[in-house]
Amino acid sequence: MMAVRTAVGWTGDAIEIIDQTLLPAEERIIRLSTVDEVVDAIQRLAVRGAPAIGVTGALGVLLAGDDDAEAERIASARPTAVNLRWAVERVLAASDRKAEALAILEEDVAACRAIGSYGRAELPEASKILTVCNTGRLATAGWGTALGVVYAKQEAGEPVEVFACETRPLLQGARLTAWELDDAGIPVTVLPDGAAPALLAGGQIDAVIVGADRIAANGDTANKIGTYALAIAARHHGVPFYVAAPRSTLDPATPHGAVIEIEERDGSEIRSIAGLEESTRVWNPAFDVTPASLITGLITDAGVLRAPFGPAIEGVLS
């Protein structure tokens, strides 16, 4: 697989990211050299994906200097993805903050590789993968989580193609996943979110693999809105449903999905698409929670975890 730029990097005095709000029309690299710029980039989704914002948060602490209040602004920029606060607090607690932040970046690269390897071994015959949102090199410091499995298959010379739900309202599947996979030479088909159950019913999909923003202690998983519906449809049609995420996304402090804080985005994201009046009410959750009972396995950088997920999660974090 060719060397490509990933979502986030460190120059020595600034963070560099691909501004994902401009893709696929323009690939622009922007520098973040202040806490204000880091918070803005995270909140407007210029950088997104739980692992990527975790790495960005870790590096952002270096820009905050000794001002822990500024670091807290970064940690609270988005509430659902556990990686962000986890990374910020880990750097704050370190005696050598720069070394710790850079270690988090390198660990994410390695975690993506491990997830890809474990996922490929778990699904040796799966060549047609359905996914939602974007979980590849635009969402991590490495080659991705769910898409890391796809890249591992490609690197091994195995046939693989991806069916990407467009992921409304911001189209991370259509704009980002399709662009990324096309750039990597992997066949990709974009479909409307509502068409996924029909695709699963037709027997054309070997496995569903999604990412995660937070995995509770019992295995309940918060991920991009629409994931829960995919899991229900996959279960109904007998298609295995996997969640791919690094151990930094596992949250033993959250007992179950009902207590995960779900970020609600501004209604303008939907009103602008449909040309609606400002007075039109909108419910725009960024994420939903898939019950652990619908998940075949958690593909992590420590291996594939299976139900009962509580003891399995506790085991890999101990």
Binding-site annotation: residue ranges for substrate = 48-50, 78, 172, 223-224
CA distances from 55 to 47, 88, 143, 248 (A): 10, 9, 14, 11
Is 66 catalytic? The answer is: no
Q: And the tokens for 82?
A: 């556990």
Angstrom distances, CA of residue 175 to CA of 70, 78, 139, 172: 32, 22, 13, 5
Give the DSSP per-residue string, 62-125: HHHTT-HHHHHHHHTSSSS-HHHHHHHHHHHT-SSHHHHHHHHHHHHHHHHHHHHHHHHHH-TT
Token pair 């997920």 in the structure block, residue = 309
Phi and psi of 139, rounded to 5°?
A: -115, 0
Please give the structure tokens belonging to residue 161.
């193609």
Q: Position 9: which residue type?
A: G
Catalytic position from the list 213, 220, 288, 301? 213
**Position 287: which residue type?**
F
Residue 212: partners with Cβ closer than 8 Å, 6 or more residues away: 50, 145, 221, 222, 223, 243, 244, 245, 249
- Find where tokens 């999909």 sit: 205
Name the pairing type of β-strands 287-290 and 221-224.
antiparallel
Distance of CA 202 to the CA centre of its chain: 27
Residues 6+ apart with CB under 8 A from 215: 221, 222, 243, 245, 249, 250, 251, 298, 313
The amino acid that residue 303 corresponds to is G
Q: What is the set of active-site residues?
A: 213
